[in-house]
Amino acid sequence: MADILSAGKIIELMQEAGYGEIAEDILDRRKVGERGWRQVEDPIEIPPAPDDSVSAGWEEEPGKHTAEWWLNRVIPPRVKLIGPLVTASRSMLFAPTGLGKTHFAMAIACAVASGNGIFHGGPWLAPEARRVLYVDGEMPLALLQQRLQEAVGRAGAPDGRLMVLSTADFQEVPALNTAEGQAWINGRIAAFMPDLIIFDNVQALIAGDMKDTEGWRMLQPWMRSLTDAGMAQLWVHHANADGTMYGDKTRTWQLDTVIALKRVSDVPSELCFDLAYEKARERHPGKNGSEYREGRVTLQGNIWRFQEAREVEVAGIYEVLKAAGRQMKTSELAAMMGMSRRAVEQKAKKWSRYIVAGTSPIEWALPVAQDDSRLRH
């Protein structure tokens, strides 16, 4: 049990330690009852000292936690699963309702399980087949089966490496931010030992107000235990009508990657959205930057396609130039594109490989050899 000392005794000890002026001020206040000080010897509990076995560990390893120790420490490397997802990582994918986040999440699951890519050319390639657990919390069984059939048809057979759990198959599934819910799924995780777990979605699988952080905070220790086991996690979440993440963004603080799917208007496609990164902790320029390419994703004719953001911008410029059929000054082009002149000038360098740009004032013109897919010098 911790030692109990009276307030008077603590003041006495403060005086002995050289804090006499502070102690005298406290004594004066106690005498006159200033600021609510009571006239009795209030007992104050002093926390127990740290366990000797914990502090002893530092003495046994004198060089531990120094910079040199860290530089020589052997840590299992994170291995790529697909795109920006690596083993032992924690990620989130969010999008407005009806945009296609479950389609895309299931495409990720099937691509990783089959060892293939998502797109017909482009990023998001799986270097090898891995085990994936997909946990669905809201889809009707018939629709889930249909989505799975379509996804497998595009990515290839997973050959037993994809397990799909639907809460609709069980009478009562406790929320995953409770001890009961974690116990329910831990047994299934231990039996299958997946490399990647996809949770679809936050609102359906955890309890509490989605605007509040408490429900997500209760989930953190269990999420870290999955990380410690080397398992990657992808949590699917909803967005507000304006495309921002639903609820408090503090839930992203302990995540490695946050992927936003953004609505695109007036695009003739079965499914279309812009893919962007709001957080990319694992991105290293010159090493894996290509895995974090942003761009437009479409599903056409049962084929996923990816177009880099730069090419999407260039395509818009090209359509304006093609319609005009002549050179355009920066100010005119900015007005046509609904952009500021400064924004167009800033993008000039990025687009210079694709669009002819003159000197100041910048003049934009169609290339000599027109190409509907890409502009060239």
Q: What is the average pLDDT score of the chain?
A: 82
Domain ranges of the chain: 4-72, 80-301, 312-365
Q: Over pLDDT 70: what percentage of the chain?
A: 75
pLDDT of 35: 39
pLDDT in tens, 197-227: 999 999 999 999 888 889 999 999 999 999 9
* Segment 16-39 mean pLDDT: 52
Closest C-alpha among 47, 57, 43 to residue 10: 43
Most confident of 37-51, 92-106, 113-127, 358-372: 92-106
At residue 48, the pLDDT reads: 56
Could you tell me the pLDDT band of residue 234, with boundaries at 50, 70 and 90? Answer: very high
* CATH class of segment(s) 312-365: mainly alpha
pTM score, whole prediction: 0.74
CATH of 80-301, one of 3.40.50.300, 2.30.30.700, 3.40.50.10490, 3.30.460.20: 3.40.50.300
At residue 67, the pLDDT reads 95
C-beta separation of 236 from 199 below 8 A: yes
Query: Which tokens belong to 70?
Result: 């860290």
The answer on pLDDT for 23 being more than 80 is no
pLDDT digits (tens, 9 = 90+) for 328-358: 777 888 888 777 888 777 776 666 655 655 5
* Window from 26-30, 165-169, 276-280, 345-349 with minimum mean pLDDT: 26-30
Q: Is the pLDDT of residue 40 over 80?
A: no
Position 19 scores a pLDDT of: 61
Average pLDDT of span 247-276:
88
Q: Which tops the pLDDT comparison, 327 or 128?
A: 128
**CB atoms < 10 A from the CB of 112, how many?**
32
- Cis? peptide before 361, omega within 30° of 0: yes
Task: Say how far apart CA 261 and CA 100 lie, in whole Å.
Answer: 9
Asked if residue 268 has pLDDT above 50, the reply is yes
Q: Which helix (H) or strand (E) holds 351?
A: helix 341-351
Q: Convert the pLDDT of each residue in 47-106 to its tens digit.
A: 554 555 555 555 567 888 999 999 999 999 999 999 999 999 999 999 999 999 999 999
What average pLDDT does this structure show over 247-267?
Answer: 90
